[in-house]
Amino acid sequence: MSFKGKVAVVTGASSGMGAATARALASAGAQVNLIDIDKKGAEETAQKTGSEIFIGDVSNSEFCDLTIDSIVQKQGQVDILVNAAGIILRADALETNDDNWKRIMAVNVDGVFFMCRSAIRHMVNKKSGSIVNFGSIWGDVASSGVTAYCVTKGAVHQLTRALALEHAEDGIRVNAVAPGEVNTPMIKAGRDKPPTGDELQELANATIPIKRLAEPEEIAEVVLFLASEKSSYMTGSIVPVDAGYTAR
Ligand SMILES: NC(=O)c1ccc[n+]([C@@H]2O[C@H](COP(=O)([O-])OP(=O)(O)OC[C@H]3O[C@@H](n4cnc5c(N)ncnc54)[C@H](O)[C@@H]3O)[C@@H](O)[C@H]2O)c1
């Protein structure tokens, strides 16, 4: 798959699946722009991708607009947008306070919406573009103890479908990946005690048909397929990459 001549933007590019996607796009020839709130991680990714870095919070719509506008001004276009920035909250409904609820909605839902809207404003002029959002298995099936996170990922799935319909005739495709449990810092985040390797394997044995976590690169492969012309007949699709988790 070649992305030569394509301008890509990846949010959440400092870590995990965003970083893996940015590396894979850069290796396939794309000019990749990295967006993240974490400067140090973005600089590490950029060492491998030779990318321009934009540090900021995707829940701030002005930041999203200014960043996309400046990329288009300097690089001429945005062909591909990957929205991987996200946070998790490991709390059931009664443990979720107003601030935590608002923050996860702001990052996981507002952030994806603002980035899509900023990019689509330019993509409609070019009559082309491909957007890949990060949903989750927990956007389609629920789990206990992650109420707000499940809600945000359900919203991302519906945003993906709605935007796909609104822009199908503009040459813009909008799809999402719905990963299962992936070996990134998020798998340990928000827990009282970070799980050991043995504990993660026990989790995999108990819940994942293939009985192992995914590596971020395995998800990035699917993201690149959705971003590329190889998936030209796909829009509004939510693609599970979950080792059979949601096949039950
Ligand atoms: N790890 C999993 O098991 C898993 C499973 C399904 C879906 N997901 C989703 O995949 C995406 C990537 O997750 P990951 O596992 O690579 O996580 P990660 O924690 O490794 O990376 C998330 C990145 O998002 C950035 N970020 C967080 N808040 C931000 C903000 N307000 N503005 C800009 N950047 C921000 C972080 O700094 C980090 O670099 C997320 O949307 C996550 O919800 C993860």
Contact between 185 and 88 (Cβ < 8 Å): no
Q: In the structure encoding, which two tokens stand for residue 146, read together?
A: 């992650």
Q: Is residue 2 part of a domain?
A: no
Can you give the CATH number for the domain in which 31 is found? 3.40.50.720
CA dihedral 4, 10, 15, 16 (to 10 degrees): -80
pLDDT digits (tens, 9 = 90+) for 34-59: 999 999 999 999 999 999 999 999 99
Q: Is residue 194 part of a domain?
A: no
Q: Is residue 205 part of a domain?
A: no
Burial class (CB in 10 A: 0-12, 13-18, 19+), 224: buried
pLDDT digits (tens, 9 = 90+) for 65-76: 999 999 999 999
What are the phi and psi torsion angles at 173 (to 5°)?
-105, 140
Q: Is residue 120 part of a domain?
A: yes
* The predicted structure's pLDDT at residue 151: 98
> At a CB cut-off of 8 Å and minimum separation 6, what does 65 contact?
114, 118
The tally of domains found in the chain comes to: 1
Q: Is residue 192 part of a domain?
A: no
* The predicted structure's pLDDT at residue 149: 98
Q: Is residue 198 part of a domain?
A: no
Which of 17, 109, 241 has the most ligand 1 atoms within 8 A of CB, as the residue to mutate?
Answer: 17
What per-residue string of b and e applies to 186-203 under the rule 16 or more CB within 10 Å gives b? bbeeeeeeeeeeeebeee
> Taking CB atoms and a 6 Å cutoff, what residues make up the pocket around ligand 1?
11-12, 14-18, 36-38, 41, 57-59, 84-87, 107, 111, 134, 136, 179, 181-182, 184-187
Q: Nearest 5°: CA angle at 95, between 16 and 111?
A: 40
Q: Is residue 66 part of a domain?
A: yes
- Identify the domain containing residue 220 by its residue range: 7-183+216-239
How is 96-138 classified by DSSP, letter by letter?
A: --HHHHHHHHIIIIIHHHHHHHHHHHHHHHHT-EEEEEE--GG
Terminal Cα distance for the chain, rounded: 32
Question: Residue 147: helix, strand or coil by DSSP?
Answer: helix
pLDDT digits (tens, 9 = 90+) for 98-150: 999 999 999 999 999 999 999 999 999 999 999 999 999 999 999 999 999 99
Going by alpha carbons, the residue nearest to atom 19 of ligand 1 is 186
Which of 131, 183, 184 has the most ligand 1 atoms within 8 A of CB, as the residue to mutate?
Answer: 184
Q: Is residue 189 part of a domain?
A: no
* The predicted structure's pLDDT at residue 1: 87
Closest ligand 1 atom to 20 CA: 16
